[in-house]
Amino acid sequence: MSQATLKKKALDYHRLPKPGKLEVVSSKPCATQTDLSLAYTPGVAQPVLEIAKNPAKAYDYTNKGNLVAVITDGTAILGLGDRGPLAAKPVMEGKGVLFKQFAGIDVYDIEVEAKTPAEFIRVVEAIAPTFGGINLEDIAAPHCFEIEAALKKKLDIPVFHDDQHGTATIICAGLLNALQVQGKSLETAKIVCLGAGAAGIASLNLLVAMGAKKSNILLVDSQGVVHKERSGLNAFKKAYARRTRLRTLAEAMVGADVFVGVSGPNLVTPAMVKAMAEKPIVFALANPNPEILPEKAKAARSDLVMATGRSDYPNQVNNVLGFPFIFRGALDARARQITQEMLIAAVHALAGLAREKVPASVLKAYGLKKLVFGPDYILPKPFDPRLRERVPQAVARAAKQAARRR
């Protein structure tokens, strides 16, 4: 499909037959005078009084328990950068579609004009009573870290920055399986991460929580390797600063078992891939153009396992495998937070699912005759119907176990 054709199709999709991708639909009948008296006055007074006496009753009498706010300031829009909150609205509506399609969760998209993190935090805190959960989206680093941390402390509902933790969850699930395919272990793997923003830092944090060693990790940003002698590092980069003589991405890649790219297009060369260890793993996740195209990486190394963020190649690292089901589990458990233990539970549920026999319905949906766990299948497909059961259940179990320990 040409770029001109794609542009027209995308714009028509969003504009026709009426603008946008979301609408509000009543879940109760309102066709008679009796219905009207129950939906609004005088009947609506009864749940108001019950909730006033006991706020937890909001989960019984309103949509709070199945309603998530998808909130942005538009400073880091889906690979397009800072385009402002209004321009981010199509993406936020799109997230709403995915929440509903894959996990049956309702969404209000909220685009916030905020000049500082503190201002953004105040807005979200003020509207939080409406929702059962908050999904932060497309907020630039390092402000996204500050915003999420503050809201987690202030609110009694789950707060989740998908660009951090959703991405991290899918990366970790894919890497667990890629390591198994390649006969390697997370505890001993030498990992290079290119990109020190929200996704990169969160992915490394989750990998370390699952057993990766910081001493085996090299973080690389636009200035090169993050090392102890560098000045001006923020606290999140400092956590991964190594005492090393390595300075460039090319130097860091020598002997690496794993490359994770959450940066920009065409930053990795075939020579860098050739310099990696035997049976390497390359996750080139920049979208829409990865750090290195699969064709080039596989021409350099026939023994690699490759993943991208694109749907036209095998092993797509796609956040839709994570956030709808993580929130479904959190809402079902009425969790106050989405914890690291809940994310790790999601990682293992996703990884385990990819090792099982693929249902015929999935093969039909993707026009495939066969799909077997291996180099070209390390993550479940988004339309796998088992995701909606397995991942939320695992997340809810982890939430309830954590609640019992408190």
Contact 257, 191 (CB under 8 A): yes
pLDDT in tens, 254-305: 999 999 999 999 999 999 999 999 999 999 999 889 999 999 999 999 999 9
The pLDDT, as a whole number, for residue 288 is: 85
Helix intervals (H) in 220-293 = 235-238, 249-253, 270-274
Q: Which whole number is the average pLDDT over 360-369?
A: 93
Using pLDDT thresholds of 50, 70 and 90, give the confidence band for residue 9: very high
Q: With CA atoms as reference, report the closest residue to 398 among 209, 239, 211.
A: 209
> Is-contact 226 236, C-beta < 8 A?
no
Cα separation values, 106 from 158, 328, 350, Å: 15, 11, 23
The fold adopted by the segment(s) 9-27+63-157 is Rossmann fold (3.40.50)
d(CA 262, CA 259): 10
| CA gap 268, 261 in Å, rounded | 9
Residue that has been written with the tokens 């095998």 in this structure: 314
**In this predicted structure, what is the pLDDT of residue 369?**
92
Q: Tens digits of per-residue pLDDT, 203-234?
A: 999 999 999 999 999 999 999 999 999 999 99
Q: Which pLDDT tens digit goes with each residue over 50-64?
A: 999 999 999 999 999
Joined tokens for residue 371: 């799909």
Amino acid at 301: R
Looking at residue 1, what is its pLDDT?
73
Q: How confident is the model at residue 3 (pLDDT cuts 50, 70, 90)?
A: confident
Which residues are known to be catalytic? 40, 95
Task: For the chain, give every domain's residue range.
Answer: 9-27+63-157, 163-406
8 Å CB contact between 358 and 371:
yes
Measured CA to CA, the distance from residue 19 to residue 245 in angstroms comes to 55
Angstrom distance (rounded) from CA 382 to CA 387: 8
Q: Quick one: pLDDT at residue 167?
A: 95
pLDDT score at 2: 85
pLDDT of residue 405: 76
Torsion sign (Cα): 110, 115, 118, 123: negative
Mean pLDDT of the chain: 96
**Can you tell me the mean pLDDT for 362-373?**
94
Q: Do domains 9-27+63-157 and 163-406 have the same CATH topology?
A: yes
User: Which residues are bridge partners to 161 per DSSP?
Assistant: 136
Distance CA 130, CA 177 (A): 39
AA letter at 383: F
What pLDDT is recorded for position 259?
98
Q: Which uninterrupted H or E stretch holds 193?
A: strand 191-194
Distance CA 291, CA 74 (A): 24
- Which among 300, 304, 263 is positioned nearest to 281, based on CA atoms? 304
> What pLDDT digit, counting tens, does each position of 109-133 carry?
999 999 999 999 999 999 999 999 9
Alpha carbons 298 and 267: distance in angstroms, whole number: 16
pLDDT of residue 78: 84
| % of the chain surpassing 70 pLDDT | 100
Q: What value does the mean pLDDT take over residues 33-42?
A: 96
Q: Given the structure tokens 């639909």, which residue do they identify?
A: 25
Mean pLDDT of 388-396: 97
Looking at residues 10-16, what average pLDDT do you find? 95
Return the closest-CA partner of residue 314 out of 240, 373, 252, 384. 373
Domain 163-406 annotated CATH 1.10.10.10: no
Of the candidates 311, 316, 270, 276, the residue with the CA atom closest to the CA atom of residue 293: 270
Task: Quote the pLDDT of residue 406.
Answer: 67
Pairing of strands 258-261, 281-284: parallel
Reduce the DSSP state of residue 353 to 3 states and report it: helix
pLDDT > 90 in the chain, percent: 95
Closest CA to 78 of 9, 140, 147, 14: 140
Assigned token pair, 374: 């291996």
Q: What is the 8-class DSSP label of residue 156?
A: S
- Predicted confidence (pLDDT) per residue in 153-197, tens digit: 999 999 999 999 999 999 999 999 999 999 999 999 999 999 999
